[in-house]
Structure 1
């Protein structure tokens, strides 16, 4: 992802926004329409992630699954990142002025640093909590509810990612493309939690629930490192 950001940054120049062709005023009707489309897509992602976070957190607490709670934390991270991206897109859509003749698009690139820091902190907290649960041997109850929630969550994350990628390509938005990739990885993390809950049902062991939470937390930490690299 870091290579992708650097490549787009190079092609867009130090202003962070594409240089408009001769005769095309920056911030014209076409660019404003594209900005509205990007903002609408990001709001949809935020709403979807918030709903999934609430569903997974409530279910995880009800059945005592740290794996499901870790998945909820990942969705809350999605909300935070998408909200930050929404803010950056709104700033980037601001009309050009005398100090920013081609707009404020550079803000989109600055959002990456804050994303990485947030991801790293949440990943570390998840690992610590999961280790504590593993040592305590706490086993989730009624894992079937968690399985149903994770199937729904994986499908929803895939749909969100697909929509963001479509809009990103249509509007040439690096922020939406990065967000689409992030939601695509959620499909795999949700699938991992789903598998862990299935194994809990089949074996009756609490190990799988804690281990998947540790893996999710570690994955989040690696994602933070790659964003900074």
Structure 2
């Protein structure tokens, strides 16, 4: 799987390098500041691709004493680095576009620039879609992030083509820096989004969509002996996940019986939710008489209160560090 991920990002790196050269060729032919903006952003594709190659290599290394959760978090650093580079490129493009108003220059062979940029836009779109699809299939946040960045590059190139066509038919060269400024704003926005994604991953921000999937799977395969699940925490390390939670079960069960229940859940999550590895740390809590009201165990030998209602599991009662009877009293 890692070899495939590395192969995909290497293809992206080579294609991005060729397209960057083509865009700079278009700039030297036309002297368009908007085309230069597009070319500067493409440099980031090359730099980010190279860094992504290294991050994929590093994230594939096994766990060791210094990195007990593996090296997967480097992928968050990778997309943060890419986002920062994109943001810097956006700032440079903005400065270059504004300077045009103080020192305008004549454009040349705009039609040639249109053909070159149109070609790079099509190739980038195909490449971006390929990376996003592969990133979801593997899965890999590095490939997905790189793919979304390249798709943004393709879309901005389409906007650039529209601007060049307007210049070609109207002769208003002022459109050139205006288009460059719009592109710079879009690039700055994308850079911010990638940095935000990186920070959230490095700070272990909870992905609620993943939490909802885990809760739904637990609920669909709920054993009557699982009285409640609470204090759930989910952390992502590259393609792998670390899941903590507390599960309340009848106090009279043997260690072997509780272990079998936990093993069943681990197997379900790894087989049905993640193509990577989900590691569990589950703390077992013994039941108390207060939990009898929503305990699903029929003919419980130690029941002290009659069953009243089944409590459905959701974020409100699975995430807090409180048993269901404590959270609802």
Task: Give the TM-score category using the shorter length.
Answer: 0.7 to 0.9
Task: Measure how far apart 1:225 and its partner are.
Answer: 2.2
Equivalent residue, structure 2, for 1:128:
95
Equivalent residue, structure 1, for 2:47:
80
Map Cα deviations across residues 65-97 of structure 1 (whole Å, 9 max, x no partner).
111111111111111112111111110012332
Say whether 1:194 aligns with 2:157. Answer: no
Task: Measure how far apart 1:101 and its partner are.
Answer: 4.2
- The answer as to whether partners of 1:164 and 1:180 remain within 8 angstroms in 2 is yes
Structure with the larger strand share: 2
- The answer as to whether partners of 1:134 and 1:206 remain within 8 angstroms in 2 is no
Equivalent residue, structure 1, for 2:131:
164
TM-score in terms of structure 2 length = 0.57
Map Cα deviations across residues 141-177 of structure 1 (whole Å, 9 max, x no partner).
1101110011101110111112112221221111111
Look at both structures and tell me which one has the larger radius of gyration over its CA atoms: 2
Say whether 1:207 aligns with 2:165. Answer: no
Larger RCO, structure (CA 8 Å, separation 6 or more): 1
Give the alignment's Cα RMSD to 1 decimal: 1.5
SS of 2:56's equivalent in the other structure is helix
The worse-fitting range, judged by mean Cα deviation, of 90-99 and 197-206 is 90-99
- The answer as to whether partners of 2:26 and 2:117 remain within 8 angstroms in 1 is no
Q: Residues of 2 paired with 1:99 and 1:64: CA distance?
A: 52
Equivalent residue, structure 1, for 2:108:
141
The worse-fitting range, judged by mean Cα deviation, of 219-228 and 103-112 is 219-228
Structure with the larger helix share: 1
Equivalent residue, structure 2, for 1:114:
81
The worse-fitting range, judged by mean Cα deviation, of 214-223 and 66-75 is 214-223
Task: Measure how far apart 1:58 and its partner are.
Answer: 1.6
Q: Residues of 1 paired with 2:103 and 2:123: CA distance?
A: 33
Q: Residues of 2 paired with 1:227 and 1:107: CA distance?
A: 14
Q: Residues of 2 paired with 1:214 and 1:140: CA distance?
A: 17
Equivalent residue, structure 1, for 2:210:
none
SS of 1:103's equivalent in the other structure is coil
